[in-house]
Amino acid sequence: MKTVDAIILGMQAGGLPSDYWATPDGEFPELESTRLVIQRNGQSVWEHTMSVIDLITPKNPITLLSGLFHDLGKCDVQPMDDPSLPRFPGHAIGSANIAEAKLTEWQASPDIIDRVVRLITMHMYDVGNAAREKTIRKFVADVGPTNIDNWFALRIADSRSYAAQQQYRSHFIEPFRTLVTSYLSQQPGTDQPTFETHGNAGGMQIEGGEAS
């Protein structure tokens, strides 16, 4: 059995996915190093990562692996003390690079690697101009049309792991999902939809703050 398949099965077994990682794994130093990296809310990157994989729904191979890798790049970023700036700038790209290398080592398929890397790269996506058609079009192209549900699963779990962001889903993520769903409902070859902004959708910024 390939390493990646064993890991996925282990996380999907009875109990919580985090149970699989309860014992330190010397073969996965990129994950172990997160135990010592602390976020602004006092939570370690390890604690946050374990929370995300436990909260994520559905627990399919793509979502679990994305949750597992999405913040590992924080370990290689100099934390910013200025609260007006992201704590770990650029960590999404670093995390995606770690995921690509590790999943290749674990013999994951090219499709799994591609989907996971896309999600991690995009998990800090800023949708300040979410009501614009070209913004939604680019988002869908970057994530992949068949990967959209996985992106929302990751983003929701990521936000839920922070007590301060419990209203984030209803205020920001769900309105964004409505816009994306509207876009995806259009058949190829038809005119692109004209989005209507409702509630907070027009000015929202899904940038996560400390979340990811």
Contact 166, 146 (CB under 8 A): no
Average of per-residue pLDDT across 180-197: 60
C-alpha 161/C-alpha 184 separation (Å) is: 28
Of 209, 150, 211, 212, the closest CA to residue 177 belongs to: 150
AA identity, residue 170: S
CATH number of the domain to which 61 belongs: 1.10.3210
Residue 207 lies in a domain: no
Residue 201 lies in a domain: no
Residue 139 lies in a domain: no
Cα 30 versus chain centre, distance? 17
Residue 177 lies in a domain: no
pLDDT of amino acid 210: 43
Average of per-residue pLDDT across 142-148: 95
Does residue 209 carry a pLDDT above 80?
no
pLDDT of amino acid 98: 97
Report which of residues 14 and 177 the model is more confident about: 177
pLDDT of amino acid 191: 42
Residue 111 lies in a domain: yes
Does residue 137 carry a pLDDT above 70?
yes
Query: In 10 A of CB 45, how many CB atoms?
Result: 22
Does residue 143 carry a pLDDT above 80?
yes
Q: Residue 38's beta-bridge partner residues?
A: 44
Contact 70, 154 (CB under 8 A): yes
Residue 102 lies in a domain: yes
pLDDT of amino acid 192: 41
Does residue 134 carry a pLDDT above 90?
no
* pLDDT digit string, tens, across residues 76-130: 877 667 676 666 667 999 999 999 999 999 999 999 999 999 999 999 887 655 6
Residue 19 lies in a domain: yes
User: What residues make up the domain containing 111?
Assistant: 3-124+146-167
C-alpha 138/C-alpha 135 separation (Å) is: 5
Query: SS3 for the chain, per residue?
Result: CCHHHHHHHHHHCCCCHHHHHCCCCCCCHHHHHHHHCECCCCCEHHHHHHHHHHHCCCCCHHHHHHHHHCCHHHHHCCCCCCCCCCCCCCHHHHHHHHHHHHHHHCCCCHHHHHHHHHHHHHCCCCCCCCCCHHHHHHHHHHHCHHHHHHHHHHHHHHHHCCHHHCCHHHHHHHHHHHHHHHHHCCCCCCCCCCCCCCCCHHHCCCCCCCCC
Contact 207, 122 (CB under 8 A): no
Number of domains in the chain: 1
C-alpha 193/C-alpha 201 separation (Å) is: 16
* pLDDT digit string, tens, across residues 33-54: 999 888 887 889 999 999 999 9
Average of per-residue pLDDT across 63-77: 93
Does residue 26 carry a pLDDT above 90?
no
pLDDT band at 200 (very low <50, low <70, confident <90, very high): very low
Task: Compute the mean pLDDT over every residue in the chain, rounded to the nearest whole number.
Answer: 83
Residue 209 lies in a domain: no
